[in-house]
Amino acid sequence: MPELPEVETVVRGLRGPLVGRTITGVSYDYPGGLVTPDGPIFAARIVGQTVQSIERRAKYIVIRLDPDTLIIHLKMTGRLYVVPNDHVDYADRWVHFNFQLDNGHQLRFSDSRKFGRVYLVGDQSEVTGRLGPEPLDDDFTLDAFRARIQGRSGTLKPLLLNQFFLAGMGNIYVDEALFASRLHPLRRADTLREADIARLYEAIRAVLREGIRREGASVNWYRKPDGTKGSAQDGLQVYGHAGDPCPNCGRPIEKTVVGQRGTHLCPDCQQ
């Protein structure tokens, strides 16, 4: 599933071709329950609205229209791209939402697994209101992180994956942040010392910034809006490296399961 760096890259790639464009039509065959409001109401309501700006909140793509807000979650296999009406793309076989634009282009939402979600709301908080803080925001300081983690007793990996605790983190970057901070995924949050909290805070922000700089990790379905791959996968230290030597100590990276998620770690560096 695309995480914060991947979604941020998609947002940046969509701004150029979308901002200022008016939606003139919608076609869809998305299953019921994955689009809000129901399809016919959605289509009638969005036509004629113009894209004002595009932002990211956690793993959500937030497209501000006038007067509504279009919110899209890519989930596992979603991909968004803007192309001329007559353009043929390999991902078109999985397009289930197609937004016609006023300049002869289309915003297409390809999603082979049909797990993605599409919302049209008057108030963004209806979808994102309960999410935790953004880890790269200026006001997410070490003090703010310390205040959130103190009093927590759960294990670290499930806690960091909890979108209500911290927004945007997923399996890849949690594994990378825990490795960088030398903390075991099963370590209990209430056992962290001040130095541990500080290392984890810095590691979270560092791995996310590096992921954005490399325009996301194309380890599965993720592609940028132009169809090319990101390169963050080339810089991953432990994720996807089971059996490879640890870049720090040389011991083989192990893969286990934590909270029903495949988890990569070095058993020496992350005791």
Q: Which residues are catalytic?
A: 2-3, 59, 261
Distance CA 131, CA 175 (A): 21
Q: In 10 A of CB 137, how many CB atoms?
A: 10
- For 158, other C-beta atoms within 10 Å of its C-beta total 17
What tokens does 18 get? 């979308």
Q: Which residues of 37-55 are buried (b: 16+ CB within 10 A; e: fewer)?
A: eebeebbebbeebebeebe
* 112 close to 77: Cβ distance less than 8 angstroms: yes
Among candidate residues 192, 209, 211, 208, the one with its CA nearest the CA of residue 148: 192
Helix (H, G, I), strand (E, B) or coil at 76: coil
